[in-house]
Amino acid sequence: MKIIKRGAEAILYLENDHLVKERIKKSYRLSQIDEKLRKFRTRKEAKLISRAKRCGVETPNIVSVDENNFKINMDFIDGNRLKEFFNETNEENKKKVAEELGKKVGLLHNHGIVHGDLTTSNMILKDNKIFFIDFGLGEFSRRIENQAVDLSVLKEAFKSTHFKHLNLLWENFIKGYKQTNDNFNKVLDTLNDIEKRGRYVKR
């Protein structure tokens, strides 16, 4: 077993050439509640990953789900995180991949899926395809507010990790997003409201 990452909610490790995500016990929660939550979140994340794939978004293939042991066994995507790719590639590639990213996020939202943690650390580029990983904070939702918050998280990720390329990445992302989400106008208007509220709070 080779541990890839330890997070607050789960550990990721390689086992038999597959990636296993295992939700870990929280000692501060009552055992019965803890098990119920971990089982529910394991089941929900597996459903989100599978549903995303069915609507045309690349995600790891799920090999098996073990709800009783809080594990999702899936294909390991051995590619480049967009976090590194955007900081290293040329401008033309940035534009192309950012637009494709926008199309895929638009597809998710158009099918009622909110990722919940849209950062370039949770996207992997392999064979010219963008794979979305870690749906642990995701949910099934068609609420415009939730979709706008998804975009707000991504924009903040662009600001913090890819500040020098922020305008280029965001403009091309929105170009793609508008092509696949029927409600893009409402989402972008709500995103604007969220950003205004944020600026007001900071004063």
- Only one residue has tokens 């607050």, namely 8
Residue 117 annotated to the active site: yes
Set 117, 127, 150, 189: catalytic member: 117
Residue ranges of alpha helices (H) inside the chain are 31-54, 82-88, 91-110, 144-161, 166-180, 184-202
How many whole angstroms separate alpha carbon 15 and alpha carbon 28? 29
Q: Is 150 exposed, middle or buried (0-12, 13-18, 19+ CB in 10 A)?
A: buried
Active site residues: 117
